Amino acid sequence: MTLTRLAPYLQATPLTLILAAFLVLPIATITMVSFWDYDSIQIFPAFVFTNYEETITSPVTWNTYINTLKFTVIVWAVTLLVGFWVAYYLAFHIRSATTQMVLFLVCTIPFLTSNIIRMISWIPFLGRNGLLNQTLMQLGIINQPLEFLLFSDFAVVLAMVHLYTLFMVTPIFNTLMRIDRALIEAARDAGASGWQILTNVIIPLAKPGIAIGSIFVVTLVMGDFITVRFMSGGQSASVGLMMANQIALLQYPAAAANAVILLILVLLLVGGILRIVNIRKEL
Amino acid sequence: MNSERRGPGFYVLTAFFALFVLFLYGPLTTIFILSFQGPNGGLTFPMNGTSLRWFRNLLFEQQAVGDFGGAFTRSLLLGIMTMLTTVVVSLLAGLAFRRRFLGAGPLFYLTIASLIVPSILISLGIGLAFQVFGLEPAWYSSAFGAHLTWTLPFGLLIMFAVFNRFNPAYEEAARDLGATPWQTFAHVVLPIILPSLVGVGLFGFTLSYDEFARTLMTSGTFNTLPLEIYGMTTNVTTPVLYALGTVTTLFSMGIILLALGTIAVLRKRRARRIAG
């Protein structure tokens, strides 16, 4: 075999090794440990199904999974709606390529700053004595501060939309930019209204971008625990948070069983999205 | 489309976009303002005078909890390590994927899987694997690997986008002129893709510098900055928290502007060279 034919194998080796060591091996370990047994101080090798049995038969688990799915659906719907229109505006209403690039960067920069800081930054806005409550009271709309703004499911959804919308904007923007403008001209010449162009031309062609954005948002929300913990003030639950709590109590096998179930659920959701939309031509 | 007049849709969407930008930046602006809170000020408005007290407190005084300087140093080093590794490994893998090789499909799906496996699973998995193998987790080993599972897929996807648009005619021309494969790479391919590599580096650094969930179970004894900040949220009730938020956000923005500036300079220099 000549060096030229060997080259791609050598070039792909570092990536393969890193993913084998830090992705495949850890997930194999989780799967293995999910069958282990544990007591209050240590975990030990075994082959028991109790971790799965306890997880699946507990009503708390079911409620937590349902709550996580509820967050996922709401956040997905809101980020899709907001993300699509932001991407649409950038792609079709901004005519200069420079302005387009600048506005896109304006949307991107917060994504590259700390998630924790971005969550903290809602406190002075939503808190009991926060800006929103003060303003509403001054306007005489409410007499007492609204309690549900911070540390509630509302705050969790708001923060997630704040953190994750960009994952929807970028792929949709990318597909919208690739739509041949002649198709839209043709539709208009054929007498289509703006609404018809949107629903019959643009949205069908944007589906791969919508699918990629949806995969991002769904997997991020399904695995989230820090936003739920911080923004709900401990009053709401998610699968990730349940796992984090089990980890804190050193119940690793229980957390591992949960992790396996969560992973299967996430893969099913992603598989479902990929069945509906073919994203292969985007890659 | 340029000759068209603006319809009402344009103005509605402009207002919507402006609200979106306000939504993105508004909260950050409030903590920026509140970090200049007076010595007796609290976590919310009104401002009780203005001062630099909280910045002084953050940078020069001993904190009741946490070790801001140490955490910052660790996060900075980890970010640089992740950045360099991400650039080199994604570039190599990007080059590999330009040709056919056995196992290209599985490796691609594995990389995508790395993107969709929830962070806490990676964190738990690496933490457990280190425990099972009797290794001590540390920010420079286990957390480093955990960060790479998040930055490498982004790096590889950017490299795909770059090489999809790359015109092979340049390489063929170099080869026809007698350049060796290494010369072709170093003098033709690398200068063309350099701005994109800066972009990959920016992603590698910032994603690592801000990563929380993947670090949680893998950082070992010493905290990285996001873990430190998270710890502070439960203990600290003074605007020093906002001062920290302001400082790290300004630092992130500085890095982003530096990277964007570098990309702009590289592009301009290349355009000038082609024109001249």
- B10 to chain A, closest Cα gap in Å: 7
Per-residue model confidence as pLDDT tens for chain A (283 residues): 577 788 889 999 999 999 999 999 999 999 999 998 887 777 778 888 888 888 888 888 899 999 999 999 999 999 999 999 999 999 988 888 889 989 998 988 888 888 888 888 888 888 777 788 888 888 888 888 787 778 888 999 999 999 999 999 999 998 999 888 899 899 989 988 888 999 999 999 999 999 999 999 999 999 888 889 888 887 888 888 898 888 888 888 999 999 999 999 999 999 999 888 877 665 5
CB contact under 8 A, B99 and A7: yes
Considering only CB atoms, B125 lies closest to which of A27, A107, A116, namely A27
Considering only CB atoms, A109 lies closest to which of B102, B111, B256, namely B256
pLDDT of residue A280: 63
- A104 to chain B, closest Cα gap in Å: 11
Q: Phi/psi at A38 (nearest 5 deg)?
A: -150, 155
Q: Which two tokens stand for residue B149?
A: 């599972």
Of B122, B91, B100, B126, which Cα lies nearest the Cα of B204?
A: B91
pLDDT of residue A281: 62
Q: Cβ contacts of residue B208 below 8 Å, gap of 6+?
A: B75, B78, B79, B82, B83, B147, B150, B151
Q: Which two tokens stand for residue B182?
A: 């290494």
pLDDT of residue A283: 56
Least confident of A100-104, B146-150, B221-225: B221-225
Considering only CB atoms, A243 lies closest to which of B101, B120, B242, namely B120
pLDDT of residue B63: 64
For chain B, list the domains and their CATH numbers: 66-235 (1.10.3720.10)
pLDDT of residue B1: 45
> What distance in Å separates the CA atoms of residue A156 and residue A71, rounded to the nearest whole number?
8
> What distance in Å separates the CA atoms of residue B230 and residue B244, rounded to the nearest whole number?
11
- Separate counts of helices (H) and strands (E) for chain A: 15, 2
Query: Which residues 23-52 of B have a C-beta within 8 angstroms of A?
Result: 23-28, 30-31, 34, 43-45
User: How big, in percent rounded to 5, are the helix, strand and coil portions of chain A?
Assistant: 75, 0, 20
Residue whose entry in the numeric block shows the structure tokens 């479902």 = A272
Report how far apart, in Å, the C-alpha atoms of A140 and of each of A59, A63, A128 are.
Answer: 44, 39, 16
- A255 to chain B, closest Cα gap in Å: 8
Type of residue at A26:
P
Q: What is the pLDDT of residues B62-79, one digit of tens each?
A: 665 667 788 888 999 999
Tell me the three-class secondary structure of chain B, residue by residue: CCCCCCCHHHHHHHHHHHHHHHHHHHHHHHHHHHCCECCCCCCCCCCCCECCHHHHHHHHCCCCCCCHHHHHHHHHHHHHHHHHHHHHHHHHHHHHCCCCCCCHHHHHHHHHHHHHCCHHHHHHHHHHHHHHCCCCCCCCCHHHHHHHHHHHHHHHHHHHHHHHCCCCHHHHHHHHCCCCHHHHHHHHHHHHHHHHHHHHHHHHHHHHHHCCHHHHCCCCCCCCHHHHHHHHHHHCCCCHHHHHHHHHHHHHHHHHHHHHHHHHHHHHHHHHHHHC
Q: Phi/psi at B61 (nearest 5 deg)?
A: -105, 155
Using CA atoms in the order B170, B176, B177, B179, what is the torsion angle rounded to 10 degrees? Answer: 80
**Contact call for residues B247 and B55 (beta carbons, < 8 A):** yes
Considering only CB atoms, B16 lies closest to which of A7, A23, A85, namely A85
Q: B58, B117, B149: best mutation site toward chain A, by most A Cβ within 10 Å?
A: B117
> What distance in Å separates the CA atoms of residue A48 and residue A33, rounded to the nearest whole number?
10
> ipTM of this predicted complex?
0.87
Residue whose entry in the numeric block shows the structure tokens 């570098």 = B262
Q: Which two tokens stand for residue A74?
A: 């709401």
Using CA atoms in the order A47, A50, A52, A58, what is the torsion angle rounded to 10 degrees? Answer: -170
Report whether the peptide linkage leading into residue B46 is cis, meaning its omega lies within 30 degrees of zero: yes
Q: Which two tokens stand for residue A267?
A: 């893969």
Contacts of A109 in chain B (CB under 8 A): 253, 256
Neighbours of B271 (CB within 10 A): 10
CB contact under 8 A, A219 and B90: no
CB contact under 8 A, A19 and B114: yes
Q: What is the pLDDT of residues B86-107, one digit of tens each?
A: 999 999 999 999 888 888 889 9
Considering only CB atoms, B122 lies closest to which of A26, A106, A116, namely A26
Chain B residue with minimal CA distance to A79?
B20
Q: What is the pLDDT of residues B192-211, one digit of tens each?
A: 899 899 999 998 999 999 88
Of B202, B16, B199, which Cα lies nearest the Cα of A90?
A: B16
Considering only CB atoms, A127 lies closest to which of B44, B103, B202, namely B44
The b/e string for B58-84 (b: 16+ C-beta within 10 A; e otherwise) is beeeebeebebeebbebbbebbebbbe
**Contact call for residues B225 and B103 (beta carbons, < 8 A):** no
Q: Phi/psi at A95 (nearest 5 deg)?
A: -95, -30
Q: Which two tokens stand for residue B17?
A: 């976009």
Chain A residue with minimal CA distance to B230?
A116
Q: Quick one: pLDDT band at residue B58, thresholds 50, 70, 90?
A: confident
Contacts of A25 in chain B (CB under 8 A): 125, 129
- B276 to chain A, closest Cα gap in Å: 23
> What distance in Å separates the CA atoms of residue B140 and residue B219, rounded to the nearest whole number?
8
User: What's the DSSP call for residue A280?
Assistant: G
Average pLDDT for residues B123-133, to the nearest whole number? 91
CATH class (in words) of the domain with range A59-282: mainly alpha
Between B142-164 and B190-210, two packed helices, what is the crossing angle to 10 degrees?
140
Least confident of A119-123, B49-53, B269-273: B49-53
Average pLDDT for residues B127-147, to the nearest whole number? 90
CB contact under 8 A, A116 and B107: no
